[in-house]
Amino acid sequence: MTKTRKESPIRLDKWLWAARFYKTRALARQMVQSGKVQYDGQRSKPSKTVQVGSVITLRQGFDTKEVEVLALSEQRRSASEAQLLYQETEQSIEKREQNAEARKLNALYNPHPEGRPDKKQRRQLIRMKDSGE
């Protein structure tokens, strides 16, 4: 198990990096500063000290995760050890599954084209857009 540090404070951006939510510490810092990470329901700074039992809400791609801090670590270890630092809430898991299902259904109704349009198709699209105005 990861060596936990209870006596010294750990910054929020460093904990997010150690828990493997973001690939670099700079990216974790940027996400906290831009407001995509909330600490106990409030916007915070990257230097905010993390405490066991607090709830962190963060964005990853299309999903929003809500995790509870179980342990503290400032060293980035393997993914299996990093998962011991937090636990995702049941509500967050259900919401992510619902959003994933909605995205799958939306993809059926709004399919992507097979490739980029060629020159002739681009001209037709431009003509169609211009005639619609």
∠85-24-60 over CA atoms, to 5°? 65
Is pLDDT of 52 > 50?
yes
Listed by start position, the domains of the chain span 12-110
- Would you say domain 12-110 falls under CATH 1.10.132.20? no
> What are the pLDDT digits (tens) for 70-104?
999 989 999 999 999 999 999 999 999 999 999 88
The helix (H) or strand (E) run that includes residue 39 is strand 37-39
The structure's pTM equals: 0.74
